[in-house]
Amino acid sequence: MKDLGGGVDVPLPDRSVDAVISDRVINLSEDRAAALAEAFRVLRPGGRLGVGDVVVDGEPDPERRRAAEQRVGRVAGALPVAAYRALLAAAGFVGVRIVPTADHGDGVRSAIVQAVKPAAGEGLEIRPMRASDASQVLAIYQAGLDTGQASFETIAPSWEAFTAARLPHLRYVAADTGTGQVAGWVAASQVSARPVYAGVVEHSIYVHPGCQAHGIGRALLSAFIAAGEDAGVWTIQSGVFPENAASLALHQALGFRVVGTRERLGRHHGVWRDVLLIERRSDVTGA
Ligand SMILES: CC(C)(COP(=O)(O)OP(=O)(O)OC[C@H]1O[C@@H](n2cnc3c(N)ncnc32)[C@H](O)[C@@H]1OP(=O)(O)O)[C@@H](O)C(=O)NCCC(=O)NCCS
């Protein structure tokens, strides 16, 4: 375990530590995004981040910030809680908790920041999806569609269409830590622009045919559920063909319920098919 100092290049190999801790050192770094990306890099899957940092209420004016610096030390890179949460999510962390502690006045507070790198099986890492994953993500998508049991779609979209339809902060891949090869992905779309449905998303999950039944779907979906809850998602829904036993079992194992059967909802290769509407209501977000 190493302290995460003001610099952002931590002299440790990838996935080499179980925990990253720091008490009021990370606030010396003005580039929180880079510091958090380093923390994510050096942690093993399932590893934990726990740092004491400084957060601000809104954007305090420079005068107030200077006054606070006199009392707390450097606060130059300090962020509002919501922005801090977004940076942790962008780095790939889930299970985020930011608990304010001492109030230093002038809108500056100490806070305990905790988060987890998603757990994954041996030799795998779950991380946010990148544009450079596009061809592998779409190939896995196509392989799933080719089974005829994953979706009404038959042809995977272009990357442009894929990316435009999905929320940028709720897409993850499981990748081989050695080769970087993508083994599966999960992503979500907003179901409605109406504010009342702001916390309702619809997701898809696809695992490479050569990698199925090794717990990758479970790890991806678990990370996605946690990330959704961090981001304020209270309901995740999806449509599943009744014949898709693997998908149904996976989702039910992770807290989804079958709301009902939508009968002969659409035609797939000319055949009318039923779709099970499944959903998972969070008991954490929107409780
Ligand atoms: C559905 C899918 C994502 C599951 O991913 P996976 O990595 O194979 O699943 P996991 O190995 O994590 O299995 C998780 C659970 O799902 C269930 N499961 C997995 N494969 C199964 C199968 N063939 N039959 C029945 N249950 C199965 C098991 O309950 C398993 O739990 P267990 O490990 O405690 O036994 C994968 O099969 C897939 O990509 N299918 C093609 C695309 C698709 O249909 N996507 C879903 C669209 S709704």
User: What is the rounded CA–CA span in Å between residue 112 and residue 93?
Assistant: 15
Distance 259 CA to ligand 1 centre (A): 20
| Beta carbons within 10 angstroms of residue 260's beta carbon | 10
Ligand 1 site, residue 187, Cβ cutoff 6 A: no
Among the atoms of ligand 1, which is closest to the Cα of residue 212? 8
Ligand 1 site, residue 1, Cβ cutoff 6 A: no
Q: Top-level CATH class of 17-116? A: alpha beta
Q: In the chain, what percentage of residues exceed pLDDT 90?
A: 79
Ligand 1 site, residue 258, Cβ cutoff 6 A: no
Residue having the nearest C-alpha atom to atom 9 of ligand 1: 217
Q: How confident is the model at residue 71 (pLDDT cuts 50, 70, 90)?
A: confident
Task: Count Cβ atoms within 10 A of the Cβ of residue 245 and give its class: 0-12 exposed, 13-18 middle, 19 or more buried.
Answer: exposed
Write down the mean pLDDT value for the chain.
92
Among 67-81, 190-204, 246-260, which is the least confidently predicted range? 67-81
Distance 247 CA to ligand 1 centre (A): 5
Residue 25: the pLDDT is 75
Q: Would you list the domain boundaries of the chain? A: 17-116, 124-281
Ligand 1 site, residue 147, Cβ cutoff 6 A: yes
Q: What is the pLDDT of residues 189-225, one digit of tens each?
A: 999 999 999 999 999 999 999 999 999 999 999 999 9
Whether 5 shows a pLDDT value over 50: the answer reads no
The topology (CATH level 3) of 124-281 is Aminopeptidase (3.40.630)
User: What is the rounded CA–CA span in Å between residue 115 and residue 231?
Assistant: 13
- The whole-model pTM stands at 0.93
- Encoded amino acid at 268, one letter: H
Whether 1 shows a pLDDT value over 60: the answer reads no
Among the atoms of ligand 1, which is closest to the Cα of residue 218? 12
